[in-house]
């Protein structure tokens, strides 16, 4: 199938994204402040509405099939990005990041994620076009990832164990405490990184890891790089607002990992049988929507038992100890 991503479309879409990000940071979030639920909800509505308007444009210009490909890809990427929210929350807690600075970290983290994912998508499209068998590799990888996600137990995130994190702390001079919303500061004639830069580095590494899962998943929906890129980017753009909206209630959706695992297995299977039977895009959209919706509904119908008083006190004590350790 012929791709629709002309150079003009790529330039126009990228320009639109950069303009929206400039408006976001330069106007609405010029001053660092804690993002409340009402503001996060408003921005979530803005980003979802823009994605749906773009979807309408794809339908008007390129037809029903491409519009369904975009919508399915957007839904998959949005669902898979939910795991990022949990990791972001753990990272911000581990580093005791003040709420006023969290938006700045996510903004620059997502901006560089746009570049990384664009490079991943172009490389993936080129590989698939030249080596068709790589689709089977992607399919097997997604099935294995889905099975691992299904079996995975809740565990803490330890950024200090990451080799890149340790190398940065060893090589880059670091001040011991935050300096406002700055990633770098100049003190006594010398440049230093702040702990906020280490948080940004951890967010970058996290997105790189998640991109390894999400990019192959969307190629199961469409091989058009422009549809892959735009659906991916719209999902990422709404991730910051979604974080501030859902970070405090993620624990309620405990079956979501099961839903995501089944989505990955379904998509991987679709890739493995692509030469035997091509599952219609409308069926793919319906399956993904049903799996994610069922996981959310099951989480609400069967909530986790409330922690005992002793467990709550231990959790609070651990949080305070972690905060004091990281500020010291």
What pLDDT does 25 receive? Answer: 66
What pLDDT does 157 receive? Answer: 53
C-alpha–C-alpha distance, residues 239 and 297, integer Å: 22
What pLDDT does 312 receive? Answer: 43
C-alpha closest to that of 246 among 90, 104, 89, 95:
89
**Structure-token pair, residue 185:** 């500061």
The Cβ of residue 16 has, within 10 Å, a number of other Cβ atoms equal to 13
Buried b (16+ CB within 10 A) or exposed e, 87-113: bbbbbbebbbbeeebbbbbbebbbeeb
Whether the pLDDT of residue 3 is over 70: the answer is: no
Instruction: Express each pLDDT in 35-77 by its tens digit.
Output: 777 888 888 899 999 999 999 999 998 899 999 999 998 988 8
C-alpha closest to that of 120 among 216, 205, 200, 206:
216
Percent of the chain with pLDDT over 90: 9
C-alpha closest to that of 110 among 17, 227, 41, 194:
17
The Cβ of residue 35 has, within 10 Å, a number of other Cβ atoms equal to 20
**Structure-token pair, residue 93:** 């807690």
C-alpha–C-alpha distance, residues 182 and 194, integer Å: 7
Instruction: Express each pLDDT in 82-136 by its tens digit.
Output: 777 777 877 887 788 888 888 888 888 877 877 888 888 888 878 877 887 888 8
C-alpha closest to that of 220 among 265, 286, 256:
265
Q: Give me the sign of the Cα torsion angle 98, 322, 238, 249.
A: negative
C-alpha–C-alpha distance, residues 142 and 265, integer Å: 6
> pTM to 2 decimals?
0.74
285: Cα within 13 Å, side-chain hemisphere: 15
For residues 76 and 222, the answer to whether their CB atoms sit within 8 Å is: no
Whether the pLDDT of residue 324 is over 90: the answer is: no
Instruction: Express each pLDDT in 281-297 by its tens digit.
Output: 888 889 888 988 898 89
147-156, 170-179, 269-278: which range is least confident on average?
147-156
Average pLDDT over residues 219-231: 86
C-alpha–C-alpha distance, residues 142 and 134, integer Å: 12
What pLDDT does 165 receive? Answer: 65
């Amino acid at each position: 199938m012929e791709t629709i991503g002309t150079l003009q479309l790529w330039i126009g879409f990228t320009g639109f994204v950069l303009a929206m990000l400039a408006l976001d940071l330069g106007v609405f979030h010029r001053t660092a402040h804690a993002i409340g639920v009402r503001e996060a909800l408003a921005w979530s509505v803005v980003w979802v509405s823009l994605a749906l308007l773009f979807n309408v444009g794809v339908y008007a210009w390129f037809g029903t099939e491409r519009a369904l490909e975009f919508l399915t890809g957007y839904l998959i990427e949005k669902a898979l990005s939910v795991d990022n929210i949990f990791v972001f929350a753990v990272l911000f807690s581990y580093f005791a990041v003040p709420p006023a600075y969290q938006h700045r970290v996510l903004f620059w983290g997502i901006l560089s994620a746009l570049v990384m994912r664009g490079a991943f998508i172009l490389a993936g499209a080129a590989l698939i076009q030249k080596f068709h068998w790589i689709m089977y590799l992607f399919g097997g990888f997604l099935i294995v990832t889905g099975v691992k996600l299904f079996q995975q137990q809740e565990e803490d995130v330890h950024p200090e164990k990451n080799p890149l994190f340790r190398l940065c702390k060893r090589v880059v001079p670091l001040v011991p405490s935050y300096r406002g919303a700055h990633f770098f500061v100049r003190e006594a004639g010398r440049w230093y990184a702040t702990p906020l830069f280490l948080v940004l580095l951890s967010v970058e590494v996290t997105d790189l890891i998640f991109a390894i899962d999400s990019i192959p998943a969307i190629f199961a929906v469409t091989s058009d790089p422009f549809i892959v890129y735009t659906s991916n980017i719209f999902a990422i753009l709404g991730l910051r607002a979604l974080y501030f909206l859902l970070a405090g209630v993620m624990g309620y959706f405990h079956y979501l990992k099961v839903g995501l695992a089944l989505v990955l297995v379904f998509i991987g299977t679709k890739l493995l049988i692509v030469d035997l039977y091509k599952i219609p895009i409308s069926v793919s959209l319906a399956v993904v929507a049903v799996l994610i919706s069922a996981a959310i509904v099951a989480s609400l119908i069967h909530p986790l038992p409330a922690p005992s008083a002793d467990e709550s006190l231990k959790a609070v004590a651990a949080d305070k100890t972690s905060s004091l350790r990281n500020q010291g």
